[in-house]
Chains A and B, each alone.
Chain A
Amino acid sequence: MVLPVYIAFVSSTFDLSRNLTGLPLWPGPYLFDNYKQVIFDGVSSQGLPPIGPMIFNSFIVALSITLGKISISLLSAFSITYFNFKFRSVAFWIIFATLMLPVEVRILPTYEVVASLNLLNTYTGLSLPLIASATATFLFRQLFMTIPDELTEAAKIDGANPIHFLYYILIPMSRTNIAALFVITFIYGWNQYLWPLLITKDVSFYTIIMGIQRMARASDFQPQWHLVMSTVILALIPPVMVVIVMQKQFVKGLFEVEK
């Protein structure tokens, strides 16, 4: 499973000609040279801005999307699962339909909407359109469905209002799934390429993935694979750190539900 990532690492420890003529399975001698060049000298020879700001941008975008998505999905899943109102199902399907029309198809009209709202080249424009997905809502809906009705009844008897129920009971019970979703969404936001490419107009808004693509996609010039892969490995570090931090939430027996 980890083989491809390992290969990326191996690639980043060799020089370019070895990369072009066949890599072995074990790392090579250029580890320090390559990483030093990428981190310190900057890859400006590749037409890239400094790495720091790009990582910062990626971070802001990924975090905004994650926090945004989780919060509005929790609310909407709660709404359609725990309340019975007339157009409940319709609302669910409208939200759910967002999964079925691929982004490549609607990207041009979405661009026009964002442009007309004057959100081009802004962090808002980068993040807001991407929080409208249904996966999170669907996930929470599934989760809420498994929670016993007795809890709801008990809460109602106690006179708790829905917000209390959501905050004090549902959310703690959803902790593992929220953690999983945090990881997935953060990585999703971190890896965005096409959307940031379309709507950013200057280099100060580049995300790190855009930077890597720029180095890797040369039509007439040879990509510097060893430098590309070094940057790829570096770009993997924040998502992995997020995973490690979220690991704490994956502790079994965090809560026990008595049936």
Chain B
Amino acid sequence: MLGGISKGLIEMRGKRVTFGGVIFPIVFLAPQLIVTLVFFVWPALQSLRTSLFEQDPFGLSEKFIGFENFIKIFNDAEYLEVVLLTISFSVTTTTITMSLALLFAVLADRLVNISTIYKSLLIWPYAVAPAIAGVLWWFLFNPTIGILARFLSIFGFNWNHFLNSNHALILIIIASSWKQISYNFLFYLAGLQSIPKSLLEAASIDGADGFTRFKKITFPLLMPTTFFLIITNLVYAFCDTFAVVHATSAGGPGNSTTTMIYKIYRDGFEALDLGLSSAQSVILMFLVGALTLIQFRYIERNIHY
């Protein structure tokens, strides 16, 4: 039956030509599986279990309440806003970062001379720890002393993300994208490097110009990388942007920049309502899982490896 389910829903492609035997794959798989089971699956099951209970933070007592936490969440009028915000934030961030990164990578790939410095500089954003990055954005955008804020005020544009929801939203998009552009750039560059020169040379001999070469050869060959990046970027935007929001807008003003993961942190760590935050993470996990499954089913079909 398990075989049936896996074939139907979650079957994922492998190579057509494979090696035989079962011992080798199991042995190769073992280290990752063991670490995953011990340090991820087991704790994850614990925290999932917490979503069905009402527990005090110290774990001194607990009461089974079934799906009450979930019902509470779905009845909360503001939760829908949070989910919608999270989706639009994630899609926007992913689109911006991937497009810009691809552009930078193509440029770096072509301009060989300056590219070493260029490449190093473009990695720096990723190297800055998220919480430190938050402080740097504060230095740039603080309405009173921020350099960019003052720059904008020269043009009569009064930047104030403490009071203006749109400004706050722009700020968290910029702050989250900044780091991710580096990440995507790095992988796109690696992807570009593995495209054989001979292919592109043959195409230009055939009379194809730069743009056509990109469209017909480079981009299709980059699809595996692109697929990898779409998935990891969306997951990043949904699950990993807590630190950025916390350091810049703290979910405000009002709750206009409160994303799902931020709410989970607030309810779990600050409010210590472990049951409620676990329930929210179950919902988040299902959302991200569904998105990923959809992509594997529909997008991966069209990728020619």
Do A and B interact?
A: yes
Size range of the chain B interface in the assembly:
35 or more
CB interface residues, B 86-105, toward A, < 8 Å: none
The segment from B162-170, B183-191, B207-215 found at the interface with A is B183-191
Residues of A within 8 A of B239 (CB): 99-102
The reply to whether the CB of B113 lies closer than 8 angstroms to some CB of chain A is: no
Which residues in window 224-252 of B have CB below 8 A to A?
Answer: 224-225, 227-228, 231-232, 235, 239-240, 242
Flag if A240 contacts B139 (CB, 8 Å): no
Q: How large is the interface on A (under 10, 10 to 19, 20 to 34, 35 or more residues)?
A: 35 or more
Asked if A203 is at the interface of the complex by the 8 Å CB criterion, the answer is no
Q: How far is the CB of A153 from chain B (nearest CB, A)?
A: 6
The reply to whether A108 and B47 form a contact with Cβ atoms under 8 Å apart is yes
**CA–CA, A100 to B282, complex, Å?**
10
User: Does A61 sit within 8 A of B, measured CB to CB?
Assistant: no
A90 CA to B268 CA, complexed, in Å: 30
Complex contacts, A199 vs chain B, CB 8 Å: none
A5, A20, A99, A191 pick with most chain B CB within 10 angstroms: A99
**Contact pattern, A 160-183, Cβ under 8 Å of B = 1, otherwise 0:** 001101000000010011011001
Check: A30 CB closer than 8 A to any chain B CB: no
Cβ distance A90 to chain B, nearest Cβ, rounded Å: 6
B178–A79 touching, CB < 8 Å: no
Interface residues in B264-305 by Cβ distance below 8 A to A read 264-265, 268-269, 274, 277-278, 281, 284-285, 288-289, 292, 305
Residue with the highest number of chain A CB atoms closer than 10 Å, among B19, B119, B268, B269 = B19
**For chain B residues 107-145, which have a beta carbon within 8 Å of chain A?**
109, 116, 119-133, 135-137, 139-140, 144-145
Contact with A along B216-227 (1 / 0, CB 8 A): 000001001101
Does B204 count as interface, using CB distance less than 8 angstroms?
no
Contact stretch, chosen from A33-41, A43-51, A139-147: A139-147
Contact of A1 among B29, B44, B181 (CB under 8 A): B181
Known A104-B261, A128-B39; contact A87-B281, beta-carbon cutoff 8 A? no
- Among B5-41, those with CB < 8 Å from A are 6, 10-22, 24-26, 28-29, 31-33, 35-41
Check A204 for interface membership: any CB of B closer than 8 A. Answer: no
Q: Which residue from A91, A93, A142 sits with its C-beta under 8 Å from B227?
A: A142
B197 to chain A, nearest CB (A): 6
Task: Please judge, given known A-B contacts A7-B139, A145-B15, whether A79 and B24 are in contact too, CB under 8 Å.
Answer: yes
What A residues does B20 contact at CB under 8 A?
A: 83
Alpha-carbon gap, A89 to B44, bound state (A):
20
Query: A39–B15 Cα gap in the complex (Å)?
Result: 53
Chain A residues, CB < 8 A from B186: 180, 183-184
Contact across chains for A11 and B35 when beta carbons are under 8 A apart = no
With contacts A76-B33, A82-B19, A94-B33 taken as known, whether A184 is within 8 angstroms of B39 at the C-beta atoms is no
Closest chain-B Cβ to A116's Cβ sits at a distance in Å of 11
Asked if B194 is an interface residue, CB under 8 A from chain A, the answer is: yes
Query: How far is A243 from B116 in the complex, measured between Cα atoms in Å?
Result: 10
Q: Which residue of B lies closest to A24 (CB)?
A: B147
Known contacts A83-B25, A99-B235; A132 and B187 CB within 8 A of each other: no
CB-CB under 8 A for A250 and B39, given A1-B181, A91-B33, A256-B198: no
Contacts of B24 in A (CB 8 A): 79, 83, 162-163
User: Contact flags (1/0) for A78-97 with B, using CB distance below 8 Å?
Assistant: 11111111111111111111
Residue picked from A25, A180, A190, A257, most chain B C-beta under 10 Å: A180
In the complex the two chains form, is B224's CB within 8 Å of A143's CB? yes
CA distance A8 to B132 in the complex (A): 9
Q: Is B156 an interface residue (CB 8 A)?
A: no
Q: Is the CB of B261 within 8 A of A243?
A: no
Collect the chain A residues with CB atoms within 8 Å of residue B42's CB.
Answer: 109, 113
Task: Check if B132 sits within 8 Å of A232, measured CB to CB.
Answer: yes
Chain B residue contacts of A5, Cβ below 8 A: 124-125, 128, 136
Decide yes or no whether A23 CB sits under 8 A from chain B: yes
Contact of B18 among A76, A84, A94, A212 (CB under 8 A): A84
Let me know if A102 and B240 touch, CB within 8 A.
Answer: yes
Q: Report yes or no: B190 in contact with A144, Cβ–Cβ below 8 A.
A: no
A contact residues around B16 at 8 Å (CB)? 149
Known: A83-B14, A97-B289. 16 other contacts (CB 8 A): A4-B139, A7-B139, A7-B140, A23-B145, A72-B35, A78-B28, A84-B14, A85-B22, A106-B47, A108-B274, A112-B46, A113-B42, A131-B35, A184-B186, A232-B128, A236-B124
Can you give 8 A-B contacts (C-beta < 8 A)? A22-B145, A83-B19, A88-B14, A89-B10, A139-B187, A152-B18, A180-B189, A239-B127
Q: Which 9 A-B pairs have the closest CB atoms?
A: A109-B43, A109-B46, A83-B25, A79-B28, A191-B129, A76-B32, A4-B136, A22-B145, A129-B39
